[in-house]
Amino acid sequence: MRMISLKVWVLSLAIYCGFAVAAEPSPKGLYIIFDASGSMWQKLPDGEFRIDAARRVLAGLAAGEYQGLDVAFRAYGHRRKGDCRDSELMVPFSEPETALPKLKELMTHLEPTGMTPITYSLIAALEDFGGREGEIVLISDGEETCDADPCELVRAWREKEIRIRVHVVGLGLDDKSRAAMKCISDAAGTAYRDADSAAELAEGLGQIQRTASAPALLILGRTATGKEMSVNGEVTGVGKEALPVASHLRNALKPGKYSLSAGVKTKNGTIYRPVTQMVEVAERGDTRVDLTVVEPPSVTAHFGEGDAVVSGSPVHAYMSGKKAFELLPGVRAYIDEGSYEFRAKPNVDNDLKISETFAAGEHKDITFQMAKTVLVKVRVVASGTRSWFRENCELWQEGKKRYSVHVMNGARVEPGTYEIRLPNELTPFAKPDLVVTDEKEQQIEVIVPVGHLTVVYQRADGARDKDDRCFVGRGEKGSGVFKQSGEKIPLTAGKYNVTGWAQKGKYDPVAVEIAEGQDREVVLRAK
């Protein structure tokens, strides 16, 4: 199954943002994405097939209720089983008088068949919007079965201030699928709607239609030089409570006059130098407001090793010793004026701090210079074999542990000379003078000198018993681990004791000494 990657998500954003804004804006779009996957043949609690309930409701949509909107319809899972790209735009954007009769005809022939490619369909829908604004209505009876999490995609749209909201109506969902679908609406900032009958589906679609058709305030923030800015704030009507608004939202409001107070929201959680002006929301359609705002100071954090730019870690900003906010490397963040200490600890060798002061409108790039580290993977191999110890090892310097090296993922370490230790309770091992070079990535093989022990179970009559667990300890009463009988167990030179598994029977413990290169067998005989 081919998965949609983050690169494709980013491309989808670039496609949308690349559309030119027409001198006369297109009507707002209402775009239905319909689940025609095989599970739509299941029944709702009232006994009606999910697909039949959906057919009745969608075929009954009235054009008069969608005036001022262009309507489009896409279905997925309706043509081929097992095809994660079975998603088709069946009705392109057109006036409701044209689109809805086509939709009514299509619904009579739509046969649920295949998969649930929600993410793929959302990306295709974004391209179909062609730069216009509007609403997507996702009607689904199950969660994504093909690609990456659609929640992350919708969250990315919202962060990029794409003026398309995704509404979700879940049709006959269980708790698991409901949680997955609600995640999408939460990411979009819309209300999730459940439907367990045709009536509830019709009501959910009606609520979305009324939201899409309601008067709304659209805010475009710009600086005095024309630079677009994301803004947040609130509106207050006469004698009414303040309502939150933002430039990335379609702010549905009742018609009337409002006092708008808004500005750029900083990482500190404040609205920077908010601007106040009166606005009047029209009786119908969208009211657009241009708001001239002040650009706050900003910062972008980077990490480097010498002249090279490297990945780092989240950066924590402090003011007067108290944490103010967190930012990601490479992402420009708007902040309040003042003095900050920026802290980052990408690994154990780099505990970094930078202090900077920011004035109004000032941008600074800060770079954390990191001590050079390389990726090291260590393979600890038993001598005389190609078998290896599937355990983490440790690198020590001057009597102190510097690193724990994961058996599969390795670790980033500073180049240098170390003592390697295998902190195994049964076969402890240490070797000095392990050299880590400045090569970017390296795999080091360490040979552990061992002998081998094989444990055999016998019944009381002397016949061999089937293999099972046994306990191998180091020294007379040393700690140890459970092993499997019948297999060669690699052990460093020393004295060991072997005990049978109590649930298998009663056995006398056996003491054995292993030398390097030696193969020994011990017998655990049942009493």
186-237: per-residue pLDDT in tens? 998 888 999 999 999 999 999 998 888 778 898 999 999 999 999 999 999 8
Enter the CATH code of domain 6-213: 3.40.50.410
Please report the sign of the dihedral spanned by the C-alpha atoms of residue 6, residue 7, residue 8, residue 14.
positive
| Domain regions of the chain by residue span | 6-213, 216-292, 298-369, 374-448, 451-525
Give mean pLDDT, residues 255-275. Answer: 96
**How far is residue 195 CA from its own chain's centroid?**
28
Indicate the average pLDDT of the chain.
Answer: 90
Quick: pLDDT tens for 132-184: 888 999 999 988 888 778 998 998 888 787 889 999 999 999 999 999 999 99
Q: How far apart are CA 150 and CA 125, in angstroms?
A: 13
Among the listed residues 305, 348, 354, the one whose alpha carbon sits nearest the alpha carbon of residue 327: 354
The superfamily (CATH) of domain 298-369 is Carboxypeptidase-like, regulatory domain (2.60.40.1120)
Is the Cβ–Cβ distance between 30 and 134 less than 8 Å? yes
Please report the sign of the dihedral spanned by the C-alpha atoms of residue 303, residue 308, residue 311, residue 312.
negative
- pLDDT at residue 22 above 50? no
Quick: pLDDT tens for 23-35: 345 678 999 999 9
Do β-strands 400-405 and 308-309 pair in parallel, antiparallel, or remain unpaired? Answer: unpaired
Q: What is the pLDDT of residue 25?
A: 53
pTM of model > 0.85 = no
| Beta bridge mates, 167 | 137
Among the listed residues 44, 23, 328, 72, the one whose alpha carbon sits nearest the alpha carbon of residue 195: 44
Same fold flag, 298-369 and 374-448: yes
Q: How confident is the model at residue 344 (pLDDT cuts 50, 70, 90)?
A: very high
Half-sphere exposure of 487 (CA within 13 A, CB side): 13
- pLDDT at residue 20 above 50? no
Distances (CA, A) of 332 to 4, 71, 297, 416, 472: 26, 37, 10, 36, 57
Among the listed residues 172, 83, 84, 190, the one whose alpha carbon sits nearest the alpha carbon of residue 135: 190
Phi, psi of 295 (to 5 degrees): -80, 125
Q: What is the pLDDT of residue 378?
A: 94
Retrieve residue 159's tokens.
């962060």
Enter the CATH code of domain 374-448: 2.60.40.1120
Among the listed residues 513, 464, 466, the one whose alpha carbon sits nearest the alpha carbon of residue 491: 513
What CATH architecture applies to the domain 216-292?
Answer: Sandwich (2.60)
Give mean pLDDT, residues 388-401. Answer: 92
Phi, psi of 45 (to 5 degrees): -55, -30
Do β-strands 411-413 and 441-448 pair in parallel, antiparallel, or remain unpaired? Answer: unpaired
What CATH architecture applies to the domain 451-525?
Answer: Sandwich (2.60)
